[in-house]
Amino acid sequence: MSEQWLYQLRLYLADELAEAARRDAGAPVLGPLPQILEKHNATMKCQLDAFSDYVAQAEADGVEGYPLYEWTKATICLVAERCWDRVRWAIENYTWRFDGTRRPPQAWWRI
């Protein structure tokens, strides 16, 4: 096992900001966030969208190799059924990606 710790940055957005970010990652309502992400060659993706991508990939490849497929698909179904009290976090929660990976580079911690 590697001695190096790996980190993932998560950002929780208020409802109106989360919806704006899903529609347009450069929306003015997000303030300086789009510029900060660009400066660090980073992007962010809503967890719900990441879950949808995971399920689609699992279904394309065969679900056997995707241990979280059933849980992830069930979570997406709760969103479709509008069970917001149980899954709102999936829409408000964004994961940042740096150069295509979920780990921020070491330099990020010196900002």
- pLDDT value of position 55: 93
Q: Both tokens of residue 47? A: 């967890």
Q: Would you say 29 and 103 are in contact if contact means Cβ atoms under 8 Å apart? A: no
Residue 3 lies in a domain: no
Containing domain of residue 76, as a range? 10-18+31-110
Per-residue pLDDT tens for 6-59? 667 788 888 888 889 988 989 999 999 999 988 888 888 888 888 889 999 999
Total domains, the chain: 1
Q: What is the DSSP string of 52-83?
A: HHHHHHHHHH-GGG-TTHHHHHHHHHHHHTT-
Q: Which residue has the tokens 């900002």?
A: 111
Domain-embedded: residue 101: yes
pLDDT of residue 44: 87
Which positions ≥6 away from 45 have C-beta within 8 Å? 94, 95, 97
pLDDT at 88: 62
Which residue in this structure is represented by tokens 């060659």?
Answer: 41
